[in-house]
Structure 1
Amino acid sequence: MKKQLAILLLLYCWICTSLSGQNYNYAPNSLNIPTIRKRGEVSMGLGYGHATNSLDVQLAYSPFKQVLILGNYFHARNKEVRQQTMNGTDYYFGEAAIGFYETYKKGVGSITAGWGNGNLFSNYEMNNSAELSIQRWFVQPGFAYQSEFFHAAVALRFSRLNYTKANVSFSINPSDLAHIQNIEAKNPILLPELGIQAGIVFKPVYLGLSISSIFPDTNLWDFTRLNAALMLSTTFGTRRKG
């Protein structure tokens, strides 16, 4: 009964924290906070965020003792937006990282650094559009806790966003154009992002809510400050010796 109530609470929080505008110039993907404890382990996560109709895919692998390799893909694709038959934003972003981890009795501390690349296409009224190419360098310290029934994690991602290319229709709404011009004036942008996760363990998987939030006020750039994904994750492939 307790797990059923916890699932309902997760769903409620997911709905309440997943509200955003139709167009945006950046959205934070879910932070990959690894739970790997031994060499040879692999963790996989799959999440859905309904605010941006997005899919999060996360991978982590330990090739050597206390060494991590991470891979993330954020998929908020909308074919109709790219074809300019519907207003909205189509966005994809992929990244890879390497780092180190330290295990504790019921937790894992980690620090990773990596690079990512993506593309964002927004279609506005009258088929006016803006296409932005984004690169991101980041450093991310984090900590994950997991008991027999509960999972929780927190991490800070210190990002350096670099908008490398912009193709913009100058007849778009003046406020939308001003947001992009503000990005160009500030570029590259240093951006701290907070990731919080909480969930319920159903061995060998756990179901959780992953919330990603941008610290500073980003109204001048029209960034999505809060993104929530319902995640299903698992870890497997433990080696006895490491």
Structure 2
Amino acid sequence: MKTVVFLAVCLVTCSMSLYSCRTVYAPNALNVPLFQEKGELKATIATNNLQVATAVTEHIGIMVNGYLNAYTSDDKDFKNNGKGAEIGIGYFGHSANRITYETYAGAGLYNVKMKESNKAKTFDSDAVKYFVQPAVGWVTQYFEIAASPRLSVIKYSAPDITGYTVQEQASNYLNIVDQKAHAFLEPTLIVRGGYRFVKLQAQYGHSFKLSKNDINYDDGVGSIGLIFDIASWYKTGK
């Protein structure tokens, strides 16, 4: 319980600092299903994230991720909205004592918009994101824990910028966001607790920028929510 409270405090802190500057990239939550059998289905409802994954064979899984984040300053003068959708496919397996390993790869489309000074200043850019997400974890009826060092690469299109001065664009790297792809390593811990088909899930991690090109980004990876599991393996009592 102390761990969950600590993670919740960290997530609140992250959300308070999110978009405190003109943030262009904010990492979404990881979808780490930890499947045990063919036909298993997991759906997650978490802060800013909606995720679904299913095991289509004994070792192949697919996932779909949705992300939506909206920030408005206290004086309502600044708005920063991000949204995206991803699809991925991967391989999974597990041992007799349910030590589980998996690797997923996928891609998605993202968009970020900023508006401030009564919409006199705006920024709008689309992006394509690619990710590779290995993970290892342990699964029981009551508890799941996993770790994943996700690698994310995101490439922005030429942004539509109005109202920002040359100095503002340069100081926030808005004018160079599309010049090169941006790579991030995002090691994250995932903890779940509950019973059988529903568990409370908390994630906490950090986003490390690997590429040298500058970008304003949120370095926190985190969410808290519920994960639902439709499966038959946990009915055996093991």
Specify the code of the residue in structure 2 equivalent to 1:203: R
Question: Residues of 1 paired with 2:30 and 2:84: CA distance?
Answer: 13
| Aligned with 1:123 (options 101, 106, 115) | 115
Stretches of structure 2 lacking an aligned partner (at least 5 in a row): none
Between 1:65-74 and 1:148-157, the stretch displaced more is 148-157
Q: TM-score, normalised by structure 1?
A: 0.82
Q: 1:110 aligns with which of 99, 102, 106?
A: 102
Instruction: Report the alpha carbon displacement of residue 13 of structure 1 after superposing the two structures with TM.
Output: 3.6
Does the CA contact (< 8 Å) of 1:33 and 1:143 recur in 2? no
For the residue of structure 2 that corresponds to 1:35, the secondary structure is coil
- Tell me, yes or no, if structure 1 residue 163 matches structure 2 residue 161: no
Aligned match of 1:89: 80
Q: Which residue of 2 aligns with 1:151?
A: 144
Partner amino acid for 2:93?
A: E
AA matched with 2:114: S
The 8 Å contact of residues 130 and 152 in structure 2, kept in 1 or not, is answered as yes
CA distance in structure 1 between the partners assigned to 2:141 and 2:3 by the alignment: 15
- Look up the match of 1:61: 54
Q: State the superposition RMSD in angstroms.
A: 2.6
Alignment coverage as a number of residue pairs: 226
Shift of 1:238: 3.5
| Contact 1:96/1:115 (<8 A) preserved | yes
Q: Which ranges in structure 1 are unaligned for 5 or more consecutive residues?
A: 49-54
Residue 40 of structure 2 is matched in structure 1 by: 41
Say if 1:121 and 1:162 are closer, same or farther in 2 by CA, change over 3 A. Answer: same
1:167–1:152 CA distance, 2 compared to 1 (3 A): same
Does residue 1:236 correspond to 2:230, yes or no?
A: yes
Q: What is the match of residue 139 of structure 1?
A: 132
Q: Distance in 2 between matches of 1:25 and 1:131?
A: 10
For 1:28-62, what per-residue CA distance to the aligned partner results, in whole angstroms no more than 9, with x for missing partners? 000111121111110111101xxxxxx20111111
Distance across 1 between alignment mates of 2:35 and 2:224: 20
Q: Equivalent residue for 2:25?
A: 26
Structure number with the bigger relative contact order (C-alpha 8 A, sep ≥ 6) is 1
CA contact (8 A) 1:29 1:212 kept: no
AA paired with 1:46? I
